[in-house]
Amino acid sequence: MKTLKAYFLSLLLVMTLTLSGCELVGDIFQAGMWTAVIVIVLIVLLIGWLLRKMRR
């Protein structure tokens, strides 16, 4: 019975550590996605501004 309790506690500890890591990775990818969206919008605006300057 003692080994079963130790096994359960170690399994619970491992699950806690690994599942919180998945949440961290998801947050990093979400922040990266928003950064990429902002950079793409800025590049499109810059290209549009340059094209308008060249037409004048």
Work out the pLDDT band at 46, boundaries 50, 70, 90: very high
Q: How much is the pTM?
A: 0.51
| 9-35 pLDDT, tens digit each | 888 787 777 666 667 677 778 888 888
pLDDT higher than 70, residue 1: no
Q: What angle do CA 48, 49, 54 make, to 5 degrees?
A: 95
pLDDT of residue 47: 94
Mean pLDDT for the stretch of residues 41-47: 94
